[in-house]
Structure 1
Amino acid sequence: MWILIWGGISCANPEPSPSASQELPQTLRQALAQAGVPASEVSVVVWGINEPRPRLAWEAQTPRNPASVMKLVTTLAALENWGPAKTWRTEVRVPRLEAQRGQGPFGVIGVGDPGLTLERWQELWRQVYQQGVHQLSGPILFDQRGFAPLESSPETFDREGFRAYNVIPRALQVGQQTQWWFIRPGERAGEPLRIWPEFPFPRIMLRNRTHTVSGPCPALWRSGLHYAIRAKFPGQVPITHPDGRLDTGVILELTGTMPRDCGVQVMGFSLLTNPAYLDSSFRTLWHELGGTFTGTLKQGAVPSDWPVLASSESPALIELLLQMNKNSNNVVARTLLLDLAMDGDGSNAANAATEASGRAKVFQILARRGLDFPEMVLENGAGLSRKERISAEHLARLLLWMQQKSLYGNEFMTTLPLVNVDGTLRHSFEDPRLRARFHLKSGTLDGVKALAGYGLDAQDHWVVVVFLANGAGAEGTVAVQEALLRWVRTESKIPQSGTVSDTRVLSAPNPLR
């Protein structure tokens, strides 16, 4: 038996009370029937902030795969461990500052910087160039010891080893090891699509076999496009993910069609190994700066006592969490899990961080806050997993704790997409009454559909909303999700017999917004 104090309310044995509704509202049952999904395949919890028990709890304790909704667990752990202002600093180091004239070694230590973009990578080397170092001849060492090699390969999850969302994090990783391609339809049907890279990699070539078609743009604009990855110098064994055999030359072949009304779209591919990406991006950026390089780039240990010649600081953690949750960025989430293991500063390089040690740190952070989730299975913190599990009840308790106990509840909520406004929920539901009234993280996998976050009820009080569907018909439950949100917004109210503590009040949005 344990006691949990929430905003002035003492709840002993806080299991869902029998007085909480154990029946789904009729509108949800109708939506499930129309979708052909058994009610036993979904879990639903609606729980008012600072209310002692849920308003609705259906299959609440059943462990289910949450897909990307698992990023809520990673978000809590990161905010509680570091606070929203945490940053990572990537540095260029040299043995002796006073003698540095481009001769001798340079080094970069991987600190697990989740926000090391190509722009910041260029900024780092621009600082070197502006200090009068224009000709580099010494070797450049890239120190990757912070993260241990992960057991899984990029194609393990869904055999899409070249897609950006499957990139395996590294301690020193630039641009999430991804090349982004802009795609624009031609002006007339039959014309090839206009395709160009955000950043040119000399080792990556495009073979464009696409054409424009008439008609409206589908919700899944990529549905008519197909890709193939070919080695410039083909071998006998098929290549399924970035591999050293591609690093000397790789061809991205795009085929298929795209409607003229789609406008400019973006698609990302990871085609080079991490060392080749670092090498190619450095050489290109250094040449653009006007510098020359005659040395070698290689993986190697960089002494931590070498002086710092140049540095670049990441955006604050809160900005990275916005990117992670609004756009469901798997690489940021997986990197943060490893950062939690090494505490994000590279000091654990002698004992490289693993996903197992990151998982252990997350459970430790939860336990210290009284959040005991024995059924939870955490694999990589991103939800890109067939193994991960958590119950709707415990997701609800996590969301409640962040608003009732955490110092960072407002920041946590801000990272979640606003329904029909931004992120992955920009164009989600048809009912205009839902717009901007819910902050929710969504999740989708084959056989999984999930939604969890916060919303305003019929009385403009904040409630926690959790929806998990696992099963063959899960992907057809969008209408069921909309029916749930509509019920929350138009019918759900504070129970007459319930009490609500006002020790923490969340402001409702401007009704004119």
Structure 2
Amino acid sequence: MMKPFLRSSSFIALLALVYSAFLSSNAYAQTEPRSRVVVTDNLSQPESTPDRVPAKNALPELRTKISMAVSRPSLRKGSIGVKVISLDSGETVYERDADKYFMPASNMKSFTVAAALDKLGPDHRFVTSFYASEPPSNGVLKSDLIIFGRGDPSFSWRFNDGNWLKAFDDLADRLIALGIKRIEGDIVGDGSYYSSEPIPYGWEWDDLQWYYGAEVSALSVNDNVVVMRVSPSTEGLAPSVRFEPTSGLFRVFNTAKTVARGEKKTLKITKRIRDNAFEISGNLPQNDPGFSGPITVSNPPQVFADLLKQRLGLKGIVVSGTARGVDRFDRGEVLNTEELAEILAYPSPPLSIIAENTMKPSQNLYTEMILRSLGEAAGPENSSKASDEKGMAIVSELLAKAGVDPRDVVQYDGSGLSRHNLITPSSSAMLYKYLDTARFSAFWKNSLTIGGVDGTLRRRFKSSEALGNVRGKTGTLDQVSALSGYVTSKAGERFAFSIITNGIPDADSRVSAIDNIVLQIANLEGKTYLETVQAIK
């Protein structure tokens, strides 16, 4: 009677072992799901619905790595804000203090230039008009020649292969082609199109003599700077001072002294605010290279008129009068053109080209001109607001389209040089997300600096996954660095991001932290969302 019991007990034990193994296998399958490939027969089965499966759990990995990057000891006494959005899923994958205010520096340019592309279109051109009281007769123009600017920045070496005079030679040739041989009047540069102050609110006085703090005018000339060269001369005598291009409008007060080789250099150069007067002081040793660099000019319309008058004279056109410059504050109003004859209309390059020459090198003057011209060209008519305020109103319209809370952007200028500007990383990242699919998206992306290739990112991201991949807009001020833009991961996922640091004195620490975050995104091998696996038919 015992043997049947033993056989039954062994069989039951075997069944228990098999069942236990089955449960264990099932439990493993629930904790480690595998991708399923559904094989179907199209003749007998309906089309399969694609499954959603995780290719790799990349989101926690990315968040961990970015959190480590922003926790560096060198950043602890300052502030860093980050917002990263997957353009493929539309989801925010990382954020830190993304809704707090930060000083954006040149990240402000993104808002200004994007608003212009959106409102005016990438093919828009700014036209500079040449007016006279009457058309020329028998080769003689019997009136002043008025050059009325509307914000074309291309009368510059930057648009003319580095040649500071080419734009003015071209203008002279066009006037000659009209048959003009003599002008019985003045050459008048007119910047009255803008009603804003030439120095934006919040710009600091010690920025104003350097190229990034150039005066803003509707009629600009060579980025509103001139190259000054100060070189040592004979010991005991004043150093030599030269300007390129030359102009009789520039006055130099030179009390500096050339000293013996090896002595300490104490050379100091100061430009008077709103005046083309330059003070040179201190000592310059004989073996010293001296100084060579761009210095801003005041009254750009007058400098424009003076250079044009020079080039006309060299090409044989006699001008009986002088070179003058006027703006809105001189006239009291914009130039009234109703009773004037337009003898020449000179269009700028398309806005898309101007945008590239603005964003990639981070050109402050061009951005301020774009903001004001945008306000005058597309802002409300008969408005008492200044040109820049009208432009800012159009920026606000773009923010609404992008779904950005208008309180997230506090704008005082177009370029970001004002220390009063404030934005949130969220506002910038959301703007870039919106612009990714805007109708002018290709032109927008072409305007951005590319990592390791051009513009302000040309020296960054070399020999990395971000080389030629990341593109965006940088920002730099004292204690401020920023980068907003686009980057694609190794897995092919596209991201929009904004990273802004404030209150960190060491520039290398700021930039290193920003670049580290971008590289974490670029090196990501998995995706941050569930991929669709298509059924095999």
With structure 1 as the length reference, what TM-score do the two structures score? 0.76
Percent of aligned pairs sharing the same letter: 19
Structure with the higher fraction of residues in helix conformation: 2
**Cα offset, 1:459, TM superposition:** 1.0
After superposition, where does 1:3-152 map in structure 2 within 5 Å? Answer: 25-26=64-65, 29=68, 32-38=71-77, 41-97=79-135, 99=137, 101-117=140-156, 119-150=166-197, 152=199
Cα distance between partner residues in 2 of 1:161 and 1:86: 30
Pairs within 5 Å for 1:151-162 = 152=199, 156-162=203-209
Alignment of 1:18-417 (within 5 A): 25-26=64-65, 29=68, 32-38=71-77, 41-97=79-135, 99=137, 101-117=140-156, 119-150=166-197, 152=199, 156-181=203-228, 197-204=243-250, 227-229=268-270, 239=272, 241-243=273-275, 246=276, 250=278, 267-298=293-324, 299=326, 301-343=335-377, 353-404=386-437, 406-417=438-449
Could you report, residue by residue, the CA deviation over 1:379-421 in whole angstroms, capped at 9, with x for unpaired residues? 11101111111111121111011113x1111211111111111
Partners of 1:154 and 1:131 lie apart in 2 by 42
Q: CA-atom RMSD, angstroms? A: 3.9
Look up the equivalent residue of 1:56 and give its one-letter code.
Y
Q: Contact 1:377–1:390 (CA<8 Å) still a contact in 2?
A: yes
**Greater Cα shift, 93-102 or 70-79:** 93-102
CA contact (8 A) 1:43 1:467 kept: yes
Q: What is the distance in 2 between the residues matched to 1:466 and 1:115?
A: 30
Give the whole-Å Cα distance in 2 for the aligned partners of 1:322 and 1:183: 32
Distance in 1 (alpha carbons) for counterparts of 2:430 and 2:286: 44
| Amino acid in structure 2 at the alignment position of 1:229 | T
Per-residue CA deviations over 1:95-130 (Å, capped at 9, x if unaligned) read 332536132232222222232335334322332233
- Per the alignment, in what secondary structure is the counterpart of residue 427 of structure 2? helix
- Contact 1:66–1:448 (Cα < 8 Å) also in 2: yes
DSSP-derived class of the 2:456 partner: helix
**Could you tell me whether the CA contact under 8 Å between 2:487 and 2:496 is conserved in 1?**
yes
Cα 1:281–1:157 shift into 2, 3 Å:
same
Q: Is the 8 A contact 1:455 1:464 kept in 2?
A: yes
State the alpha-carbon separation in 2 of the partners of residues 428 and 225 from structure 1.
Answer: 33
Equivalent residue for 2:501, pick from 445, 455, 469: 469
TM-aligned CA distance change 1:209 to 1:291, over 3 Å: farther
- The DSSP-based 3-state class of the residue aligned with 2:246 is coil
Q: Partners in 1 of 2:400 and 2:72 — Cα distance? A: 39
Number of residue pairs matched by the alignment: 450
In structure 2, what is the Cα distance between the partners aligned to 1:139 and 1:431? 56
2:146 aligned partner, one-letter code: G
Query: What CA distance in whole angstroms lies between the structure 1 residues aligned with 2:121 and 2:287?
Result: 45
Report if aligned partners of 1:341, 1:354 keep a CA contact under 8 Å in 2. Answer: yes
Gaps of 5+ in 1: 1-18, 186-192, 215-223, 231-238, 501-513
Between stretches 164-173 and 139-148, larger displacement belongs to: 139-148
TM-superposition CA deviations, 1:277-306 (whole Å, max 9, x none): 134323322222232222134436452453
Q: Take 2:396 and 2:66, find their aligned partners in 1: how far apart are those partners?
A: 37
Asked if 2 retains the 8 angstrom alpha-carbon contact of 1:204 and 1:252, the reply is: no
What is the CA deviation profile of residues 154-213 of structure 1, one whole-angstrom value per residue up to 9, with x for unaligned ones?
99425232112112312222223211357999xxxxxxx9996542223437879799x9
Q: SS at the partner of 1:477?
A: helix
The amino acid across from 1:450 in the alignment is A
Does the CA-based 8 Å contact 2:208-2:215 persist in structure 1?
no
Partner Cα separation in structure 2 for residue 259 and residue 465 of structure 1: 49
Rate the CA distance shift 1:101–1:350 in 2: closer, same or farther, 3 A.
farther
Deviates more, 1:21-30 or 1:145-154: 21-30
Aligned AA for 1:80? D
Letter in 1 for 2:321: G
| Offset, 1:319 | 1.0
Cα separation, 1, equivalents of 2:409 and 2:385? 25
- Tell me the residue number matched to 2:456: 424
In structure 2, do the counterparts of structure 1 residues 487 and 178 end up closer, same or farther at CA, with 3 Å as the change threshold?
same
- In 2, Cα distance between equivalents of 1:165 and 1:461: 36
2: CA distance, partners of 1:22 / 1:253: 58
Q: Distance in 2 between matches of 1:321 and 1:131?
A: 32
Secondary structure of 2:293's partner? strand
Is 2:519 aligned against 1:480?
no
Q: Deviations over 1:475-500 (max 9, x none)?
A: 32221112112201112642244789
Identify if the C-alpha distance between structure 1 residues 42 and 291 changes in structure 2 by more than 3 Å, giving closer, same or farther: same
User: Structure 1 residue 376: deviation in Å?
Assistant: 0.8
Q: Which whole-Å deviations, capped at 9, do the CAs of 1:12-65 have from their partners, x for residues lacking one?
A: xxxxxxx98799534653564242435x71111221213231111111111211
Q: Are 1:460 and 2:492 counterparts? A: yes
1:202–1:359 CA distance, 2 compared to 1 (3 A): same
Deviating more after overlay: 201-210 vs 271-280: 201-210
- Mapped to 1, the partners of 2:80 and 2:287 lie a distance apart of 36
Alpha-carbon displacement from aligned partner over 1:329-350 (angstroms, at most 9, x marks no partner)? 00011111111110179x9699
Partner of 1:11: none
Q: Secondary structure at the match of 2:436?
A: helix
Corresponding residue of 1:507: none
Deviates more, 1:429-438 or 1:477-486: 429-438
CA distance in 1, matches of 2:485, 2:448: 8
Deviations 1:221-268 (A, max 9, x none): xxx9964136xxxxxxxx3x232xx4xx645669779999x9xx9731
Letter in 2 for 1:326: K
Comparing 270-279 with 58-67, greater Cα deviation is found at: 270-279
Deviations 1:429-451 (A, max 9, x none): 45533211110211011121101
CA distance in 2 between counterparts of 1:198 and 1:492 reads: 52
Whole-angstrom distance in 2 between the partners of 1:123 and 1:316: 18
Please tell me the residue identity of whatever aligns with 2:315.
L
